[in-house]
Amino acid sequence: MNILFATSELVPFAKTGGLADVSCALPRALSQLGHKTCVIIPGYKKAVQSGQNIWSVGIDFNIPIWNKNVKGSLLESRLPNSDVPVYLVLQDQYYDREGLYNQKEEDYSDNCERFVFFSRAVLEAIRLLGLEIDILHSNDWQTGLVPAYLDILYRSFQRYKNIVSIHTIHNMAYQGVFWHWDMCLTGLDWEYFTPLYMEFYGKLNLLKTALTFADGVTTVSPTYAKEIQTEGFGCALDGVLRSRRERLQGILNGVDTDRWNPSTDSLIPVQFDANNVFEQKPLCKTALQQEMQLPERNDSPVIGIVGRLASQKGIDLVTEVMPKWIEEHDVQWIVLGAGDQWLEQRLQNLAERFPRNIAVKLTFCDKTAHLIEAGSDMFVMPSRYEPCGLNQMYSLIYGTIPIVHETGGLTDTIVPVTPDTLANETANGFRFHDADVNGLNWAIEQALSCYKNDRETWKKLILTGMKRDFSWQHSAQEYLDFYEKIRAKK
């Protein structure tokens, strides 16, 4: 199959979250399985300056945006360690900025226009580059217009006739909702501005647009696929998703094992695998304590956290329980994250109050993220919802025991400790049911008690986690099966 993957984030060009990891790993895995795959992203300043080898394709084009023609051009690169082409849509007025979507927590006011341009450029690039495409795979609201443009504006041309559109939801909460006059920017007829297609309570909704036009829809874990069809998790689009359930599937993300593998990871001080984890991992713990300027104590349990500081991630719950576990068990908390200012402030205050037990780093830092995964004893993810989550999988691979809320992809990857799961050697972490302080405290208590009093079980959990195969080959095959299924329906 020939696959074009349209995305607003891509490692190592531009990243704010997990979408960037998926956008690199999935196309590479599809290509390794023998399918011709390419990726297209906006030519952000960060991407152009990412240090990757990038060259001009020598193609300029115009996109009509309401009453003007906006000029763009195409650059080309490759995914690292592969021959997968990456195309970058260059348009300096839209993308030559510091952030991808916002600056200092403030969304760019022309975000709709920026991604209208990009989505239409994706369709134009197919023609301009002479690509023969079977599957056009778009992601999240930023490329939500891609399936609509395909059906409404391009389908009648031979090159586009048989293209199957697939759209993946990485997070239902971000929908790309804009005031209704932005419909003019899309160049699409007002006849589509109805609740059946693009309208959402009087506004334009780009994720909804994708969900109604795409031939097939996926999301990033089986449990999240079920959850988003309910009122509690559907963010007011659960009805749309239920109406498309025959064409909706949850496929668990894999892990990019080129980047996340403790036996080859150059970002950690000591490499290790399941054979020497118990000797080597403590050295990573010491290095982490040094790096974060905490006392180098091997007997203090280290609990790590990496992630966006947003209410979704439940880090506010962690801030409420930190003092209790410091007082009772001398826990060392290490937090790496950036996001909501009030949360950053709260974490900063706690770190000042407990300098020997709490270290926070309020930036985005890949190296520290790797060191935390390698050096922590436990990793907490109390997400209120979690479409898939990557860090709990990284934790397992690095022999760090996850403590997670039972939701979405966390449910699909973490098998909680019970007598049965211990007996059949599937237990790999701790899971709590209610996303509140009591739930979180309950799970931390379980984990710390096992860590302190039952080392044999603890070691078993580590080995079970490290042995689980999260490679992308498996998930990529599921995507291929889904592509085929939707193709057959068409």
Q: 476: number of CA atoms within 13 Å, CB side?
A: 23
150 vs 336, beta carbon nearer ligand ADP: 336
Least CB distance from residue 188 to ligand ADP, whole Å? 29
Q: How far is the CB of 240 from ligand ADP (least distance, A)?
A: 22
Q: Which is nearer to ligand ADP, 134 or 366 (CB)?
A: 366
Least CB distance from residue 251 to ligand ADP, whole Å? 14
Considering the complex, state which of residue 21 and residue 377 has its C-beta at the smaller distance from ligand ADP: 21
State which residue has the least CB distance to ligand ADP: 18
Least Cβ distance, residue 267 to ligand ADP (angstroms): 11
Tokens 């759209």 correspond to: 167
Residue closer to ligand ADP, measured from CB, 120 or 361 = 361
- Interacting residues of 391 by C-beta distance below 8 A, sequence separation 6+: 306, 307, 373, 379, 381
DSSP single-letter state for residue 480:
H
* Min separation Cβ 366 and ligand ADP, Å: 5
Looking up tokens 């996303």 gives 435
Choice between 335 and 443, CB closer to ligand ADP: 335
| Shortest Å distance, C-beta 390 to ligand ADP | 4
C-beta of 18 vs 375, nearer to ligand ADP: 18
Nearest to ligand ADP of 185, 315 (CB atom): 315
Binding site for ligand ADP (CB under 6 A): 17-18, 21, 306-308, 336-338, 364-366, 369, 388-391
Sign of the Cα pseudo-torsion (262, 268, 389, 478, in order):
negative
Q: Write the secondary structure of 375-416 as one string of H (helix), E (strand) and C (coil).
A: HCCEEEECCCCCCCCCHHHHHHHCCCEEEEECCHHHHHHCCE
* 34 C-beta neighbours (distance < 10 Å), count: 9
State in angstroms the smallest separation of the CB of 245 from ligand ADP: 24
Yes or no: say if 475 and 21 are a contact pair by the CB < 8 Å rule.
Answer: no
Question: What is the Cα–Cα distance from 211 to 191, expressed in whole angstroms?
Answer: 17
Residues 42/88, Cβ–Cβ less than 8 Å: yes
Residue 384 Cβ vs ligand ADP, minimum distance, rounded to whole Å:
12
Min dist. Cβ of residue 399 to ligand ADP (A): 16
In the complex, least distance from residue 225 CB atom to ligand ADP, rounded to whole angstroms: 16
Cβ closest to ligand ADP, residue 392 vs residue 464 = 392
Q: Which is nearer to ligand ADP, 185 or 225 (CB)?
A: 225
Give the residue with the Cβ less far from ligand ADP, 185 or 360: 360
What is the Cα–Cα distance from 97 to 168, expressed in whole angstroms? 26
Cis peptide before 80 (omega within 30 of 0): no
Closer residue to ligand ADP (CB): 314 or 337:
337
Shortest separation between residue 296's beta carbon and ligand ADP, angstroms: 23
Sign of the dihedral defined by the CA atoms of residues 159, 481, 217, 120, in that order: negative
Residue (of 305, 170, 294, 275) closest to 228 by Cα position: 170
Pick 143 or 391: Cβ nearer ligand ADP: 391
- DSSP letters along 84-131, please? -EEEEEE-HHHH-SSSSSEETTEEPTTHHHHHHHHHHHHHHHHHHTT-
What does the alpha-carbon distance between residue 251 and residue 485 come to, in Å, rounded to a whole number? 14
Half-sphere exposure of residue 411, counting CA atoms within 13 Å on the CB side? 18
Q: Provide CB contacts within 8 A for 469, sequence distance 6+.
A: none
Min CB(259)–ligand ADP separation in Å: 9
Residue with tokens 């009591």: 438
Residue 332 region by backbone torsions, left for phi larger than 0, else alpha for psi between -120 and 50, else beta: beta
Residue 434 token pair:
């209610």
